Each structure stands twice: as C-alpha cells, then as structure tokens.
A and B are shown apart, each in its own frame.
Chain A
C-alpha cells in the first residue's frame, strides 16, 4: 500500500459547530421565500437540516433492537430539484428478520398568496417494493412538491440487525446546511468509529445513566401457596452518547477519473467491536484488518471450504504430471482453473454452492473459483494463499469490518515477493488483474491466520506501442501499415472488450477512432494467447490527414494518432485523478515523402515532465534522406495523481496536444 495515496482520503479535521434548533413543522417564511441557496446558488435543492438519532431499545420478549429516526428539512429551488421530494429507504431482511418503518410523517409547505399552506403526507404516498430476498425498497413521495417548497419528513426504522449500524452520512448530492446525529449505545455494546471524507465534522462523546425495567415471571411454589406472578426489576446502565455535527457541507459532485465517489463522502461509521453482557465473558468481534481476515478465514464457507481436496483429486496428478518446479505447476493449475471455471457474475467473499459443486458444474462465484485455484495450488505444494480484496465499486472502508472486503483472489508467495492470480477472469494473467480489483489494499491470509498486506495498485506501466510505416502522397493522402502492440492491463482490457466482437464492427470503431482512415487489411495476433502482447497489423489509406494550402502540405507528425482533446477540461478539481494503472504509450512513425516535395519546416523536438515524475512526454521529428522519422513517448507513471497536481496535469495534456498538433510543412520544389 502506498501511504501517500491512502492519506488522500483521510482528512478529517475537527471544528466546533454551533448548535441550532430546528423543530419539525415549524417552517420559517423566509425559507419559503428563499429562491436560491446561499452557498451554492445553482443548487436544485438543499437539505436545510438533518437530524439522525440512533439508539438501542430493549423490549421484553424481543430483546434489543436498533431504532433510527431521521428528520430532514428539504428546500426545493428549481424544477430539476423536484425529485428531491421523493425519498428512498432500503430495508434489509433475512428470513423472518426484517427492518421495518414504524413511524413516518411528512409535510410539504408552500407559500400560496403569501400564506403558508401545509399538505400532509398520507399512506398513499408510501410504497414498499420487494426488490429481492434481502432487500425491500420504500419510496416516500411527498405531496404538493413544487419549486419553492419546503419539506419536513421524519421516519423511524426499527431493525433487528443490531450489529449493523448504517453509516451516518453528512454529505449528499445537494448541499446540506446543518446536520446533527446522535448515536446512543448501552455499555454492553462496544463500538469503534471511523470518519471519512474531505469535509470536517465535529464529534463529542458523553455518557448518561439509563434505567430499563425488566419483567420476568416467577414460578408458583407449593409451600407458601404463591401463584406464579410477574415481577419487575430495574436495571441501570451507562449509555454512551456520540454526537456528531457538521454545517455548510457542500454537495458531493462526481468527477471523471474518480475511482468511486463514495470514498470521498463525509460520513462516520460505527462498527461493533465487542459485546460485554453482565455475567458473561466479553465477546470480541473485530478489531483490526488482521483479525477481520482471520474471522473470514475461519468461516466454513471460506477456510473450511478451502481445506477440502477430494473433488479435484482425480484431475490434479494428470494436470501436474512430472512437473516439480512450483512455478511450472502453478502455471498449469492457473491455466486449468481459468479455462475450466466460468464466472457466474457474482462477487463475494464466501462460497455459495460449495467448491465441489462449483467444480462439478464448472461455474461459480469469484470466491469459489479463486478458492478452488488456491486449494489446487496448495495440494500441489505451491505456497498459495487467498487474498481478500475490496473492488473499486465496493470502495474503501477505512474501518476494519468483514464488509470491508467483497472479493477473493489467490496469491503465490515466493522468496522474491508474491504473484497475484484471478482465475474468475478469462483474460487475466499473473499479476495483471482485472480493473475491478485494482483498489486499495488486499489482505493475504495464510492457513496459520498470519496475514500480509498487499498493495493492489499496479506499479508497472502498461504498454501500448504504435508503429506506422507509410507514405505521404502528393495529393495529400497517406497510406501505409500500422502495427499496434498492447500488453499488461491494456491487453487484458482489450481482450475483455473485443474478444468475440464482430470484427467489422470493431474495424468501424477503429476507423472512427483514427480520424476516419480506411482500413484496407487487418490482422490480429495473440488475441487468445494471454502470455503475449496483442499485435494488430493494419493496412490503411487515409484522405484527410494533410492540409494542402497553396504549394504546401501541412500535417501533424503523429497523423491520425494525434491527441486532439484534453480529457481534463474543467479549471479546478476536488478529488484525485485515478488512471486505474500507470501507462506508457510509444509512437514510431516513418513516412516517405512525395516526389517533388521537400521539407520546409519540422516541429522542434520536445521533452517535458510533470513534477514528481508523475508523467513525461517526448517528441522528436527528424529527416533522413527523403523520409521522416517521428518518435514520441507518453507516460503516466502513477495510478493516482493528487488533486493538488490537477493544474499541472491539465497543463501537461494541453502542452502535449499543442505539440502534437504542430505541423510538418512540405513544399513543392
């Protein structure tokens, strides 16, 4: 794990936030009259106030449950903000345990002829939909919402899943003026907390005494002739209170080249660490990523599954044959599992049907495929271990929890380091994993539960090279041959995208990409041989690459490979730029000049670099007899570039485009 990229995400400062009382149903006329948000005048809507109260509730016969009450005041500024009059709440369920909305109330306030009119939310504005076996969705549609409306809404979710406390979110896709959240926890439950995001919020801890009445039945006894009766007893305990506040939180706006915008959302997460019931030994849940990894490994559908070997025992000897070298055996087994197993599209840390069933069916989720791989490697005496991973979609959980990981790959440890394998993807190669896994860190777990952190960010640049041998004709057309070679992640992504794609369709795409050249002939090598770079050989003719003005011909040195559009157009940037993996592009263009023309001028060579060697670019044009030789190299040397470097990055691209669009000028002799 590179610490510098890690630190980018964690920037919690503490500021004092002044309390500010907002009461449900008491809406200010001034707010109704407000026609734009003070801090973000172009906001379509804003959350003026949000209050969330989460506490543990004890009831006889039921036990503890988790109650969460949310109150929000929302102001609608424009037509595009009308959708903020609909509220979506997801409720988890598992068998007969389910979360429920117990109380909900809402009003919409509008100013009609200078009078405040209120419209009440009724049951017909609440819809609950069964999404699947684990999730229901409730939509609350507020009545009478229009431009200018203010909405007050409050609802309580009661959950039997007391160990799963949802993240407290303090940042939304619209601005939030003031948020306060309270989490009250009986002393029996010990939670750890972890905040994230760029925007500061305040946390205060306190505690108070709480008393609950327990009812229990005594049995009747014969001696003194007592009947069974209900007795009550008071229990007093300490309740820990966490109070969180933030104000003037800006809207969270997604940007291009962002790994997962949710990583930057200001929020706090509480995770159960231990349960300490009176008279019972303290029970610890999770504490560190290392322990999380151990817990996962110990579960039956992970480590338990991994220990079984019988299902492949007939295949393994034939597969390994006489090989004794661990790497040779590993290569054979990896190829075998990658070819045999078919990913059903599900991620996950645990097996679903079981490894032998998955093996039998040749189909499985990610955990099944890569645990089969690990088990077979181990059975062949290769030093292999599973690695827990969080995918890019799953984001970054700064808090050690089992939910922090959602994916498994395999690793082989050697004296030199480790080799990462993912057999769920048909085109992945050792250490070149699919993009979805290139996130944060992974946790390698050995069978003695010792662990090793693995940096999932690729360090090696993925290469793409272009080579053109062509000629510029007197009529301004260009024809010739081009060879494109791609390796590493470039090759993996190319295979994933275009393997089995209709070739003519792909060629049309290429023709458009290369400024409308016509592809006369096309050949691709090693499309399926993952061990080699993909080589595409293209014969082309191109009409509009040169400008003929008077007796001169003008063209850009890289012809149709010229970069013309800067991916970074905006003036400023909030979040780091994520390129997924570092990359290098190399260009070699050799052009024969037309009869009767000579070079009038050539662009000057250039060599430039971004600060910290984040990127570099070189271009050189030279004339050799009657032909031109053009060489260019473009590098982005790091997967993630900090937002503070954005102006440099944008300027770097601008300069590259300026340089690449400079012209070679030929003149008629």
Chain B
C-alpha cells in the first residue's frame, strides 16, 4: 500500500465522519439570527449558494444549496425546496434535511419522497414543464430546512438569475452566486437595484461572482412599486446560447431580434396559398389601415386562444398553416398567423414581445439582451409610421386598442432586419375617461327612480366593454356591486352599446331604490352623488417605507340632475369644493335650477406617477377628502303650507 492511498483512505474516512456528525446538528439555530433580520420576517434565508458551471454554450450545471430557517407557519411558503424540469433537464441530485430550532437533525428527505407533478401555468391546456417538490409539514417552529440540488441542462437561454432577497417577509443572512466558465463564453451581466444593498461584486473576466449579507425583510404596502421593481437582482445571458434543441445568439437587440426572426419565426410563416388568395380578395381595394383592420377582424372571428407549450414551442410559434387549419393557437401562434395574413394583404407588421399585465407596466429590459417577456402582440406601422398595436388573442378588442394589458411599456419589435426596442401606446389619464350623466327623481317616501348613462374611453372602456358578453344575471350583479353603497337598489333595464370604431362604451341603466333618502324627523337626508362615489380609502401605514406609485390615471366627470319630492324644499346643501394637488384634482358643486331641480357636478382627475414615501399620507388624505365629499348629504325639509 502506498502512502498516497493511505492518506486518501484516511481522508475519505474523515469525510464520512464529518458528514455523519454534520447530520446530527448544524449551527443554524434560531438564536444566532441577527435581530435585524427577524423584523418583518416569517423566514430567514441563512445561506443561499448558487454555483453555475458553463461547460459550453449548450451545457451547464447548476448546483444550489439553500438553508432557510422558517419562523412561523406564514413562512412555510419559503421552504422553496423544488426543482422545475423538462425533457432537456437532467436532475443530478436532490435532497433536503430538516433541523429543529436548536439545529438538531430531525429527518432527511430523499429524491423519491419529493412529489412529481405537471407544472400547471394556469392557462395552458398542455405544458411539458414538470416540477419535483417537497411539501414538508413542520412539527414545530422555528425549524431549518437544508436543500441541495444539482441539475444539468442544454438550455442556456435562461440562466438562473440571482435574487439575493427572496420575496416579501423573508430576510437573507448570506447569499452568493457564481458562474464559472470552463471555456470563454462571451456574456452580458445586468445588475438591478443593487445600490443601497450590502452586495459585493467579485466578478472577474473569467467568472461572475456576487455576494450579499444581511438583507432585512420587507413587507408589502399598497400603491407601491412591485417587488420585482425594487428587488436586487443579477441576470446573466450568453451571446451564443441554446434553447431546447435550438441554437440562438445575439448580443445586441438587433442581432437577437434577427435570430428570433430567422430561427423562430421564419419557418412558421407558411400560410397556404388558398388562404392568401382569400385574404387578398377580402382586402381588395382597401387602404393599408382598412386592410389591417379587416385582417384583424378576420382573425378575431376565426380563431380562439388555446395554449399548448411543448419544448421549444414554448418560444417558437406554431406554424401559420396549422393555425389556419385548426383555428386556434397561443399568443405566439395567433400573432404569427395574423402577421402572415397581414403579409398576404400587403400590410407590414411586426411580431412584438412584451411583458403583459394590467397591474404593472413592466418593460422589456433594454439594457439586457436576452429571452424576456411573457406575451406577444402585433405592431402595424400606420401611414405616418406610428405603431398601431393589436392583441391577436382577443376576439373582442377593437382594432388598435390593447387596453391596460400591454399599454405604455417597452417591447421587442422583431423585424426581418433585426430587433428593436419601442414603447407601446400610452393612455393619458385624460384618455381614461368616464362620463356619467343621470337624472333621478326623489319621492316623499325616500324612494328614487332614475336613468343613468355612463360613457367610458381608454382603460375605463377596457374595464367595461366585456359587459356585453355577460349573462343578464351577471350584468345585474355587476351594477349591484358597482353601486354597492345603494341599499335596496333595483336594476330595471340595461342597454349597452359598444362602439368599436370610436372605442367608446355606453351603458344606459334604469334604476330604482326604495330607501334612497333617510327620513329623520320628517326631514329627508340623501346623498346627491348617487352613481359615482369613491368609498375606499388607501390603507393607513403607521410607518410607510416605500414610495407612492400611482399606476394609471383616470378622469371622471359626472352630471346628475335631481328632481326633488313634491312638498319638500332645501334645508341645507353641501357647499361645493375644488381641490388641486400633485395627485390630481377634485371638485363638485350643486346648483339650484329655476325649475326647482338641482344639478350636481363632479369631476376627478387622478394622475399617475411615482412620489416619495413622504407623500403617501398626503395622497391618502386627498382620497379621504374625496370620499367624504362624495358622501356629502342634502337635507330636505317639508315646505310650510
């Protein structure tokens, strides 16, 4: 036996011994968590290590270790012991161990005890993504979970990003991230929101390396930026990469877009000749934009949204010929199909990748060339080269109107010559308009009958126009919820008109209410603003930490004509008011008409924007004032005979 071998076996023995004792206990106890990390935290990530090895542009290994101490049952969601996979991922290792609050070993969970199930994305009828996950039922809090995993994949188009902070109500004690390149692979790094966080960038030309220590937990606040808008994050992308069996490349948006066009889109642009002829006949003699509109309406009438995501099909549209035959597809398929039809009609159009969502206007990050976005829409340059946007997954939206799902954000326009970042249409607060006109009659018994007409445009149109699709019962419920401050409201009739040409929606509602006014001692008290009251006030925060973010503005105007009951006269009228501040304006006034009726006029303009956290209380007070003025009452008294 050679000395070397001896040493080796001694070493091995030692290793085994260390492992065995390591299994008994760990030093991650509840006691040694710094107090600052407990504040607002339901869980504390003690250690998170992600080590990525790039073997080649189409081969990477991702090895992770995560140690998290869960403080209470609200923190269980941060167990995060799971791994997503698909046919292009090999899971090499997966194991979890549980330790109690003193760091004593409780149990080990092996790979076969992880649950394997399909990863439903909530929209797809089929999706080949799967997930192996652990759902551990804790027996006591706090406890610590150690999760080790390793997988190897050929898909390098998505390199796991580094989020040193894992979400709301969770803090991080230590987190590190590294990428080692076994061969030089040109890549790009995008750092977001790292400033003001205890983060070290130790990257070298050959490697990417970041470390963070002691990041306190944050908790959610209303009217604030989203977590991803604020969270520190590092993303890395290769100039040349691989995506589920397909090579890709691009270090500029131009190149990246060119690759998408050539490798993902081109092959799908195969509309059958018969359909081309059909479209040409359809648009014969029409101007460019008229033709575009006809094509869009053709798609809306003949297709439906069905999402199926298999392999590279998650990024590559289904062929136009298949959509033509089947009459369905996901956003990529329907957009590509519409584009093929536009081509046939002689109308230029561009496949555009976007982050869709009404709650946050998320941009495609211009500084970070990589696979991004979660939805696709189509851009059509009009006569003045201004982009007109359409969402090909909707059967009901008017031509050129995308609403709040994809408005006002940067998207990747994929042109044959390359990619380009442009911004979608913005709806100004003034464009998100609602006009409510009503005429109602108050009766001596406190009851009311009236007619209300509401016109909406912009995003407010978007909120309403699908009402035409609902059943009568659903419409009735909608109005009863919409005016939920009117007790005993009856909806006598509803007439809706959707003007898709001018994108205006009109609702005419015949209403009645048995107890609109309250009788107090022979006086009638009622609120003149019957049909557009703001009743909810933003939450009060004892200690606001985040900036105020008002996402989308709007503009409402109301005119209500009120017929007073026979035998009554004004006892007191609320005085009008006019408020102007950085958040917008609000005013109302009441006037007595010569014919004895009253006119109530109200206007509110809510702007959008980001304001320092100190402004939150001012905004809250503004909305409080608005809700108070909206509820202001008129007192009627009996006329002396």
Q: How far is the CB of B530 from chain A (nearest CB, A)?
A: 14
Q: With A80-B469, A570-B476 in contact, do A363 and B139 touch (Cβ < 8 Å)?
A: yes
Give Cα A501–Cα B490 distance, bound, in whole angstroms. 39
Interface centre among B107, B302, B322, by most chain A C-beta atoms within 10 angstroms, is B302
What residues on A are CB-neighbors of B26 within 8 Å? none
Query: Known contacts A345-B137, A361-B139, A554-B520; is A512 also within 8 Å of B539 by CB?
Result: yes
The answer to whether residues A658 and B515 also contact, given A130-B118, A554-B525 and a CB cut-off of 8 A, is yes
Interface flag for B635 (CB, 8 Å): yes
Contacts of B471 in A (CB 8 A): 40, 42-44
Q: A127-B308, A131-B117, A512-B539 known; A146 and B327 CB under 8 Å?
A: yes
Q: How far does the Cβ of B81 sit from chain A's closest Cβ, in whole Å?
A: 15
Question: Judging by beta carbons under 8 Å apart, are A143 and B537 in contact?
Answer: no
A508 touches B521 (CB 8 A): no
Per-residue interface assignment for chain B, residues 33 to 76, with 1 indicating a CB less than 8 Å from any chain A CB and 0 otherwise? 00000001000000000000000000000000000000011100
Interface size on B, residues (CB 8 A): 69
Chain-B contact segment, one of A23-31, A315-323, A450-458, A659-667: A659-667
Q: Does A578 contact B (CB under 8 A)?
A: no
Cβ of A545 to closest chain B Cβ, rounded Å: 11
CA distance A603 to B521 in the complex (A): 9
Mark the stretch among A260-268, A269-277, A561-569 that contacts chain B. A561-569
A419 interface hit (Cβ, 8 Å): no
CA distance A662 to B515 in the complex (A): 11
Which residues of chain B come closer than 8 Å to A290, judged between CB atoms? none
Closest residue of chain A to B326 (Cβ to Cβ) is A143
Chain B residues near A130 (CB, 8 Å)? Answer: 118
CA distance A130 to B119 in the complex (A): 10
- Among B118, B302, B476, B515, which residue has its beta carbon within 8 angstroms of that of A146? B302
**Mask of A341-364 contacts with B, CB within 8 angstroms, 1/0:** 011110000000000000001110
Q: Which B residues touch A145, using CB under 8 A? A: 304, 327-328
Complex contacts, B74 vs chain A, CB 8 Å: 500-502
Please state if B484 and A565 are interface contacts (CB–CB under 8 Å): yes
Residues of A within 8 A of B571 (CB): 549-550
Of B325, B326, B472, B485, most A-chain CB atoms within 10 Å: B326
Q: Which residues of chain B from 85 to 116 have any CB-CB distance to chain A below 8 Å in the complex?
A: 107, 115-116
Say yes or no: is B396 at the interface (Cβ < 8 Å to chain A): yes
Which chain B residues (588-641) contact chain A, with CB distance < 8 Å?
A: 624, 627-628, 631, 633, 635
Most buried by A among B169, B306, B470: B306
> B387 at interface (Cβ–Cβ under 8 A)?
no
Contact of A127 among B125, B137, B139, B536 (CB under 8 A): B125
In the assembled complex, A147 has its CB within 8 A of some CB on chain B: yes
- Cα–Cα, bound, A571→B490 (Å): 8
Bound Cα distance from A570 to B127, whole angstroms:
40
How far, in whole Å, are A516 and B627 apart by their CA atoms in the complex?
11
B360: Cβ under 8 A from any A Cβ: no
- Nearest residue (CB) in A for B304 is A82
Closest to B72 in A: A500
Docked complex Cα distance between A86 and B107 (Å)? 45
Q: Is B489 an interface residue (CB 8 A)?
A: yes
On whether the beta carbons of A508 and B541 are closer than 8 Å, the reply is: yes
Scan B300-336; emit 1 where CB is below 8 A from any A CB, else 0.
0111111010000000000000100111100000000
Please give me the residue from chain B that is nearest to A131 by CB atom.
Answer: B118
Chain A nearest CB, measured from B458 CB (Å): 22
Mask of B464-506 contacts with A, CB within 8 angstroms, 1/0: 0000011111001100110011011110000000000000000
Question: Per-residue 0/1 for B575-597: is the Cβ within 8 Å of any A Cβ (1 yes, 0 no)?
Answer: 00000000000000000000000
Among candidates B126, B326, B515, residue contacting A144 with C-beta atoms closer than 8 Å:
B326
Q: Which residues of A contact B469 (CB under 8 A)?
A: 44, 78-80
Does A85 lie within 8 Å of B125, measured CB to CB?
Answer: no
| CB-based contact A658/B126 at 8 Å | no
User: Residue A10 at the B interface, CB < 8 A?
Assistant: no
A35 to chain B, nearest CB (A): 14
A contact residues around B137 at 8 Å (CB)? 342-345, 363
10 shortest A-B CB distances, which residue pairs? Answer: A127-B126, A144-B327, A569-B480, A362-B139, A344-B137, A82-B304, A79-B395, A42-B471, A601-B521, A143-B326
Q: Which B residues contact A (CB, under 8 angstroms)?
A: 40, 72-74, 107, 115-118, 125-127, 135, 137-140, 169, 219, 301-306, 308, 322, 325-328, 395-396, 469-473, 476-477, 480-481, 484-485, 487-490, 514-515, 518, 520-521, 525, 536-537, 539-542, 571-572, 574, 624, 627-628, 631, 633, 635
